Chain A
Amino acid sequence: MRRRVFQAMGLGRGNGVGRGGRQKGYRCRDACCRERDDINLNDIVPGEVCRICRLHGCGSVRQRLLDLGFQPGREVKVVRNAPLYDPIELQLGDSFIVLRRREAAHIEVTHA
């Protein structure tokens, strides 16, 4: 229900997708990605666990996400939304990381 309200406000999934753009010549060989192509971390509701397929975007955002451990194949749990819905808190292994939804939209995932 809450989700629908946010979507009505234009805050739902898909925010920010495509801003960074996919890198040239970038293809995903991971089987998981082909089945359900367009779910990203921004779509996952708090409490759910998902698996990272790949990272879009480029440059420093991407590098920082990789450094923090957002590596393809790893599991991520969405812990909570901020009180104002954005940003979101994620659990990756033992660490808790905060991302804006716009950056989260760069991370393509699949339900674990």
Chain B
Amino acid sequence: MPERGPYLVALAGQQNAGKSTLFNMLTGLTQHIANYPGVTVDKKSGSYFAEGRRYEVVDLPGCYSLAAFSLEERVARKFLLEDRPDVVVNVIDATNLRRSLPLTFQLLEMGFKVVIALNMMDSAERRGLEIDIAHLERRLCVPVVPVVGRKGRGEAELRAAITKAAVSEHVTPATLNYGSLEEAVARFQAGIAADAAFQDVSARWLSVKLLEGDSEAETFLGVRLDNPHGMLDEVYKARDAFEAKQGLSSGDHISGCRDRHAAEIIAASVTDSKAGQVPVSERIDRVLLNRFAAPLFLLATVWAIYQLSIVQGYELTKITWPFLASFRNLMAGILPDAGFLTDPQIRSLGLWIVDSINTLLNYVPIFLILFALIAILEDSGYMARIAFILDRILHRFGLHGQSTLPFILAGVFAGGCAVPGVMATKGIPDARARLATILTVPFMNCMAKIPLYTLLINIYFPEAKGLMLFYLSTITVVVAMLVAKLLTSSVLRNEETAPFVMELPSYHLPTLTGVARRSFDRTWLYIKKVGTVVVAIAIVIYVLLQFPGVPAEKQLAYQAEAEAAVAQFYETLYGNPLRAAVEDPARLVDLINVSSAYKAARLNAGSKSAVEAMDVTLAEDHPDFVPFVLRSRDADAKAANKALRDLSKQRSTLRREMRSDRIEASFLGSIGRAMEPVTQFADFDWKINIALLSSFAARESSVATLGVLFDQDEGENATLEERMGEQQAGEGRTAVSAVALMLFFALYPPCLATVIMVRVQTASTRWMVFSIIFPTLFGLAVASAVFTGATALGLTGLQTMSTVWLAALGLLLIVALPKPWLPDFLPGGTREAAE
């Protein structure tokens, strides 16, 4: 038997028709998901086997027709023309037949073998629509399979219909008659059919497209013919003649014919037993979209998302963190042992990477919940309503109703991630608003910004924590709006805009599998995309921080101090019988390592019994170390324990000093110092510069880097807050400096993962670079202005922050309020929004 290739099946249909659900139903787990369902422009493909043949299924982007206006439609059309699928499954929302059938007619016109999957039959039944499937099949001359994608009903029938259509040689002729234009259509059809250049396209389809005035069809003609002008002239002539005669453009006439034909078919095949009744969705909307109730419901929804994902998610991370911590301890055990003064490079690097990965994985529970909730919002249909409610405000700032989702994902309050936020901008049909959203989403408070805020607020504003957090989380939204306005009226002014035309889908009860799947997919995407980048950058930052290393003479001084400390240790234990166990200096290092591993594990141990179990293991593995590590009443053991503690303390101090020296001498340290002349206006010293530089890799690392720079002994247990507060106060730093730093951090460029996502989503390196440079300069300007201004005026930190916040709010109102003195300003003031 000759080798037969797979059949190519394309899923075509409108947005919200349930294409993605049917696609999942057909292909199961074999699919390649490159992007989000519903908001895909990229191709999703998968496959399945039936009767010994492979069926490759491609999910086309949602489109209403195959005109050349929107990107989705162009992508779908290009695929249909170039890949010529064997079968096209036209997914139709059974509750919305009239609007769906024009696409069916176009698919038939293109000469495809079409199978109609009449989806959402259950909704149609609930709405009281009785659809005469047999009649529909007769009128359209193609198989019509009723399915309920969400429940998996009709799957076998659909597969059977696809197989039958794939095998059959019969192609349904198009049945749509264009009335007064039919004569012209037929004329060009005959002309095209006779031309050898057009053997692979449907002559009738091309003829209709040309008469419709489709620009791409005209281009296509130019590609296929050496001299298309003769035919094009004739087409123009025919179009003009028709318009002159009918007073209607041929395109409108064709579109009208399709609509009337659809109406005619539906009139004969659908009975509406509940005609005139108000649909359930509309009844829900009367409450949810009520002028006064809508904002309340919206606030309640956003609050619930915040509570469930961020607050409860953090609770969950308390359960998951010990697993990550024990993973780190495990790795610490596997990697080469630590030395007394310096560690093997591979150990430091390994732990550095593990730490970077752990900070990332720590957010996974939060993301799972957050993405599940957002999937519920999308599937239920409420997301579209949010866009409806907020469009006016967002539009005022050059954004779009559908910018809401990206902003929520990126963390309108506190806690989110700009990476999924930027990814979610795919759904915005307006190019200008989309770019503005992409460039402002990183201003939101991503989860990694919070630790630095908390750190600084705890140091400088212990009595006004809540107020400061409120200021910070609201000012970012205000600034994002202002920047969006600024960008859309300057650099983005010439970008293409699109109207806000959106269908409000009926409310659906989301399914568990659908929601879970989406949540896992998106979280996985986050881990994959961000994970690889974070690891790569972690290594780069590590190298920049480690090299060229501590200067040689300093190194020698440290070495001498270390030797002195060790000698001191042995001297203290002179005459102590326990000294024999560590007589060999290599054993001493072992002891110190065992002791610190024990301490780390003990911190992570949850219960008393776990600690006891650890003690037993220690006694088994290293019986001679027990007196040093565990406290006991025995005098010798007490002395040994104390000597070890003193030694560990000295070791930590030395190591910290060395690390600090190393960072100062490092490449990153030099860069941080070199930046001081510029950053001094915002009162950032080199340490903060380094932290900000390293936070470009991932925001979390800013606090980690500060932790290293303001490092101290483990034994002393002073929090980073205390350490940093002390040192900073010693250097004359005040709360105003902290405000400047927090503002800069709030406006700081997106982290590297986000920047890469910006590159992916805008498909432009120029915008990627812009997304780094603009916020840096902007943030630095704001921070410098705030610091210099507040210092000159002698304001306190809280006063400064309040002033900045009020100023930003004032600016927002000025931009938002209608300006009657500007005649050509966009219509639609936002007086209510301001109130």
Contacts and interface: CB of A to CB of B under 8 A. Distances in A.
Q: Do A and B come from one complex?
A: yes
Nearest to B829: A9
B252 interface: yes
B247 A29 contact: yes
Interface string A78-108: 0111111111010101111111111100000
B96 interface: yes
A13 to B, nearest CB: 11
A50 B189 CA distance: 38
Contact of B393 (A26, A60, A84, A103): A84
B717 to A, nearest CB: 53
Interface in A27-46: 27-29
A75 to B, nearest CB: 12
A10 B829 contact: yes
A83 B295 contact: yes
Contacts of A25: 240, 243-244
Given A66-B252, A67-B102, A72-B256, A11 B502 contact: no
B118 to A, nearest CB: 15
Interface residues of B, number: 57
A100 B500 contact: yes
B291 A98 contact: no
Nearest to B500: A100
A29 B252 CA distance: 13
A61 interface: yes
Interface residues of A, number: 47
Given A61-B501, A86-B828, A89-B504, A68 B99 contact: yes
Interface in B52-110: 64-65, 67, 69-70, 95-96, 98-99, 102
B255 A66 contact: yes
Interface stretch (B162-170, B384-392, B485-493): B384-392
A9 B831 contact: yes
B249 interface: yes
A63 B388 contact: no
B395 interface: yes
A93 B247 CA distance: 26
A84 B392 contact: yes
Interface string B606-645: 0000000000000000000000000000000000000000
A74 B243 CA distance: 21
Interface string B261-302: 000000000000000000101100100010110110000000
Contacts of A26: 249
A112 to B, nearest CB: 15
A112 B184 CA distance: 34
B499 A86 contact: no
A60 B818 contact: no
Given A9-B829, A68-B99, A82 B391 contact: yes
Interface in B788-835: 818, 820, 827-833
A29 B243 CA distance: 11
A83 B294 contact: yes
B259 interface: yes
Nearest to A73: B256
B777 interface: no
Contact of A93 (B67, B98, B501, B504): B98
Nearest to B252: A66
Contacts of A95: 96, 99, 503
B392 A29 contact: no
15 contacts: A15-B828, A23-B249, A67-B65, A68-B501, A71-B259, A80-B289, A82-B389, A83-B292, A86-B392, A86-B395, A94-B279, A95-B503, A96-B504, A97-B502, A103-B499
Given A9-B818, A71-B255, A98-B388, 11 more contacts: A9-B831, A61-B501, A64-B69, A67-B65, A67-B102, A71-B259, A86-B828, A95-B96, A98-B387, A98-B500, A102-B499
